[in-house]
Structure 1
Amino acid sequence: MFTGTKVRLRPLEPDDAPSLWRWGADPEVVRWMNAGYPESLAQLTRRHLERDTNSYATTLLGIETLGDDKLVGAIRLRDAQPELGMAQLDLWIGEKDQWGRGLASDAMRVMCRYGFEEMRLHRIELWVVADNVAARRVYEKVGFVQEGVARDGFRRGGKWHDMVMMGLLEGELR
């Protein structure tokens, strides 16, 4: 487990599936995500149990609040390439009553520190919908900078949105 000032990151457990399913079924939570097709709790539980174990290529961890050990989200480093020293980062805070409390920033710092110090990454990047102002603020707060834009890269509610690519280099984490 990896601990920050507000959160602990830990491997996901089978009994976490109901929380993941509930978050995925909430339109407000998945508003800016490619949530895929709807699935039942049984389907998600099966997929969750059958997923590959954490490895250098993909590390998926649950985000728990310190003190009450409540699962509030998930964070993942994926597509890690040791030859290039880089990986993609995904973040999801599913418990809406925890939004705006600094948990996302803390989880990002902990995961990026793990990526740079333990995985020996040099670069971590992510993609975010340009209109997702709250997420962009979190990413900038921890040191990510905008590096590019994919015009009309995301479609939601019949409208196209630009996607912003952001990057963080080793030594830039705040």
Structure 2
Amino acid sequence: MLEGELVRLRALEPEDAEKIHPWVHDPEVGRWMTNSHPQSLAQIRKRAEERPVNSYELVVLGIEAKAEDKLIGVIDLRDAEPEIGNAELDIYIGDAGYRGGGGYGTEALRLMCRYGFNSMRLHMITLWVVAENERARHVYRKVGFSEDGRHREAFVGADGDRYDMILMSMLKGELR
């Protein structure tokens, strides 16, 4: 487990499927995420039970609010390549009561990036974010990510509109 003042990052358990299921269908959570078709609780349970063991290539952790011992989101480092020391990061806060201003996502990002740089010996962590998701872009910049480029109209929102995606990265030593 990785711990900060507000959050704890821990491996996901199969029983977490019940908590994750409502988040998958929450329009606010999915607004800026690439979504698949609707999933039943049974499908999410099956995926949770069949989740591969965390490894260098893929580390998926639950974000818990420490004070309440409550799962509030998910964060991962994926597609890690030891030869070049790069990985891609994804994060979402699923629990509406912990979104937008409490510092939970910021601390989870810092903990996961520190883990990637120190324990995984990564050199660079990248992520993609929808250009209109300014709240997320602000948090990413605050912890040390820089904007590297733009992929025009690469994201299709739930409304069917197309949005630009911003590539952001952080090098080891840039974490704030």
The normalised TM-score by structure 2 is 0.97
| Equivalent residue, structure 2, for 1:44 | 44
CA offsets, 1:13-55, max 9 Å, x none? 1111011111001111110001211110001100111121100
Residue correspondence of structure 1 range 2-21 to structure 2 within 5 A = 2-21=2-21
Please give the alpha-carbon distance, in whole angstroms, between the structure 2 residues aligned to 1:32 and 1:84: 29
Question: Which 10-residue stretch deviates more, 73-82 or 93-102?
Answer: 93-102
Q: Does 1:116 align with 2:111?
A: no
**Matched residue, 1:83:** 83
Question: Who is 2:167 aligned against?
Answer: 165
Given the alignment of the two structures, is residue 61 of structure 1 paired with residue 86 of structure 2, yes or no? no
Aligned equivalents of 2:160 and 2:60: distance in 1?
Answer: 31
Q: What's the CA shift for 1:139? A: 0.4
Distance 1:139 1:74 in 2: 16
Question: Secondary structure, in 3 states, of the residue corresponding to 1:120?
Answer: coil
CA distance in 1: counterparts of 2:5 and 2:148, whole angstroms? 29
Structure 1 runs not aligned, ≥5 long: none
Q: Residue 131 of structure 1: CA displacement?
A: 0.3
The residue number in structure 2 matching 1:136 is 137
Query: Aligned letter for 1:168?
Result: M
User: How many residues end up aligned between the 2 structures?
Assistant: 174
1:22 matched to which residue of 2?
Answer: 22
Helix, strand or coil: the match of 1:45? helix
Letter in 2 for 1:108: L
Q: What percent identity do the matched residue pairs reach?
A: 53
What is the letter of the counterpart of residue 36 of structure 2?
G
AA paired with 2:87?
A: A
Partners of 1:89 and 1:158 lie apart in 2 by 25
Map Cα deviations across residues 67-114 of structure 1 (whole Å, 9 max, x no partner). Answer: 211100000000000001000000010011111211010000000000
Alignment partner, residue 101 of structure 1: 102
**Matched residue SS, 2:48:** helix
Off by >2 Å, runs of 4+ in structure 1: none
Amino acid across the alignment from 1:72: I
- What's the CA shift string for 1:143-169, capped at 9, x where partnerless? 001000000010111210000000000
Q: Tell me if 1:155 matches 2:135.
A: no
